[in-house]
């Protein structure tokens, strides 16, 4: 490992992921962006906003609950989403799917949008129905976009609901249309 005295305790003691990130930050290795990072990017003419804490927390909690049955990937097409919205790519895990000898199993990712209720189209279109209780965050599968770097095939992020999708407070309910019962059996 690195020969840095400030990192020695981190290399020998067991800890949680959150504590490790906090301790690394104290050592000058910042893995969790904050408001100071946002200011630094803006001062250099960049455009980046820290995510709303309740949205980010909801996304982490919901993804952790489904980790045994789903794969998660970055969504480059969602780069410009505002602070009250997060997007990732989600699919039923291919780990348990058998492929023919020499063949690779391919399963498409769907786009998951987690957002503050007040930022959602459903809230904007039906304000008289009221808002979700705290934390006021919902999940839904959306059309998404693509950002491969090829201008001929890339398309901007589309937050329209995916076919057959509905908004839900829990990700497991939102993901039902695109996953098997077996995937949900694996997550308990």
3-state secondary structure 170-181: CHHHHHHHHCCH
Is the model more confident about 148 or about 177? 177
Report, as an integer, the average pLDDT of 76-92.
Answer: 88
- Cross-strand pairs, 144: 158
Query: Which pLDDT score, from 0 to 100, does residue 7 have?
Result: 79
How much is the pTM? Answer: 0.71
- pLDDT-based confidence at residue 99 (cuts at 50, 70, 90): low
Query: Tens digit of pLDDT for each residue in 3-57?
Result: 777 778 788 878 887 788 888 888 878 777 777 777 888 888 877 777 888 888 8
Q: Where are the beta strands (DSSP E) in 82-136?
A: 85-92, 110-116
User: Is residue 184 pLDDT above 80, yes or no?
Assistant: yes
Query: Which pLDDT score, from 0 to 100, does residue 29 have?
Result: 80
- Cross-strand pairs, 146: 155
Closest by CA position to 115, among listed 186, 68, 177, 168: 168
CA separation for the pair 20, 26 (Å, rounded): 10
Query: Tens digit of pLDDT for each residue in 122-133?
Result: 777 777 777 777
Query: Which pLDDT score, from 0 to 100, does residue 16 have?
Result: 80
Calculate the CA 42 to chain-centre distance: 23
Would you tell me how many other CB atoms lie within 10 Å of the CB of residue 64? 10
CA separation for the pair 71, 107 (Å, rounded): 10
Would you tell me how many other CB atoms lie within 10 Å of the CB of residue 128? 4
């Amino acid at each position: 490992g690195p020969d840095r005295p400030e990192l020695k305790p981190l290399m020998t003691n067991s800890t949680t992921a959150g504590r490790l990130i906090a301790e690394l930050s104290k050592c000058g290795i910042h893995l969790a962006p904050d408001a100071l990072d946002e200011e630094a990017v803006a001062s250099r003419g960049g455009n980046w906003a820290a995510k709303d804490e309740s949205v980010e927390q909801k996304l982490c909690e919901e993804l952790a609950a489904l980790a045994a049955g789903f794969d998660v990937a970055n969504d480059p097409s969602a780069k410009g989403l505002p602070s009250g919205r997060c997007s990732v790519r989600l699919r039923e895990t291919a780990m348990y799917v058998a492929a023919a000898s020499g063949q690779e199993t391919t399963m498409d990712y769907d786009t998951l949008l987690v957002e503050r209720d007040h930022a959602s189209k459903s809230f904007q279109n039906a304000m008289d129905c009221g808002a979700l209780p705290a934390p006021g965050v919902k999940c839904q599968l959306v059309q998404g976009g693509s950002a491969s770097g090829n201008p001929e095939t890339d398309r901007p992020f589309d937050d329209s609901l995916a076919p057959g999708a509905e908004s839900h407070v829990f990700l497991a309910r939102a993901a039902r249309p695109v996953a098997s019962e077996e995937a949900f059996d694996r997550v308990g």
